[in-house]
Amino acid sequence: MDADKLGYDSMMMYEEQNRKLERMQDILGYRFVQEDFLLAAITHPSATEGRSVKYSYERLEFLGDSILGAIVAAVAFHRYPDLDEGGLTRIKVALVSGSNLSDVAASLGFADVIVFGSSETGTGKRGLHSALENVYEAVVAALYLDGGLDAANDFVEATLIPKMSLDMVKEPENPKSILQEKLQEGGITPTYKLVETQGPPHDRTFVTQVFAGVQALARGVGRTKKEAESQAAKSALASLGNFPNPLPEKEKVKESKAAIKAERAAAKAQEKAQEKARKQRVRERAKMKKQG
């Protein structure tokens, strides 16, 4: 790449980051002492290709998921003293669902402050839904790291907790809550482990394994970590005879990989076309510069 072009792109990225950092702090109503935490929280992996994972929201998302779960569980526990463990689990799972988090993040204006790389921008930001969910969790972690549990709790209390209601107990159960209730009958809590990440940063696929204690029950594949966990829970329930499973696990993985392969081929073709157009613009600018 042309050195001048590289320098220009770096300068533009720096300006975009500063602008979006300021905007995000305005949205949150919180000024960060360590802005690097917030910058990472709003940075999509596609904007950090070739750099350490610490520069995107992926690690923060992992931490934020746990902190968010603990905050929601504590609120539900104190708010509904007559609910049993199963009811509390259904409320927690429903509230921290991917669709819920992405809806809240979108309503706060997070879509305008996420820093995307050119590879994701070139796809029309088709990963925006999952990015909103991930950024919400990453922001929870960034607030926790910068301002402690109180800062994270204040954010969750103001943005997500108002959506909590007793009606969530009556919502159709999802595979994760069903599996948790079933295993808890035997005193076991299921745990989920991300075992594989496939594809480039702008087109990720996740493979998650669910465990009962140290025993691996099943794997799940999804375009988001939560989707992969849900699929893993569904497969585990199918193996235990408590949930419909139309496809064997191997066939589901094959089907998913085939769809992913086709999507990647289309994305690659689009990226090539965009790169060709970019080079043409560079040549045209150089030609105009010479003529001028």
pLDDT in tens, the chain (292 residues): 333 433 434 555 678 888 999 999 999 999 999 999 999 999 998 888 766 667 889 899 999 999 999 999 999 999 999 998 888 988 998 899 888 999 999 999 999 999 988 765 544 455 688 899 999 999 999 999 999 999 999 999 999 999 999 999 886 667 887 888 888 878 888 889 888 888 776 667 889 999 988 888 999 988 888 888 888 998 888 888 765 544 444 444 444 555 455 555 555 655 666 677 677 766 767 676 666 6
Residue 185 belongs to domain spanning: 173-292
152 and 7 fall within a common domain: yes
Count the domains in the chain: 2
pLDDT score at 111: 93
143 and 209 fall within a common domain: no
Q: Name the nearest CA neighbour of 41 among 154, 145, 123.
A: 145
248 and 267 fall within a common domain: yes
Q: Which CATH number does the domain housing residue 128 bear?
A: 1.10.1520.10
60 and 137 fall within a common domain: yes
Choosing from 156, 171, 186, the residue where a domain stops is: 171
81 and 198 fall within a common domain: no
Q: Name the nearest CA neighbour of 94 among 78, 61, 72.
A: 72
Tokens 């329930």 belong to which residue? 237
Q: Report the C-alpha gap between 35 and 38 in whole angstroms.
A: 5
Strand 215-222 relative to strand 205-212: parallel, antiparallel, unpaired? Answer: antiparallel
pTM above 0.75, yes or no: no
Spatial neighbors of 248 by CB under 8 A, at least 6 apart, are none
Active-site residues: which are they?
65, 137
Choosing from 135, 156, 171, the residue where a domain stops is: 171
84 and 198 fall within a common domain: no
Q: Which CATH number does the domain housing residue 262 bear?
A: 3.30.160.20
Choosing from 142, 171, 200, the residue where a domain stops is: 171
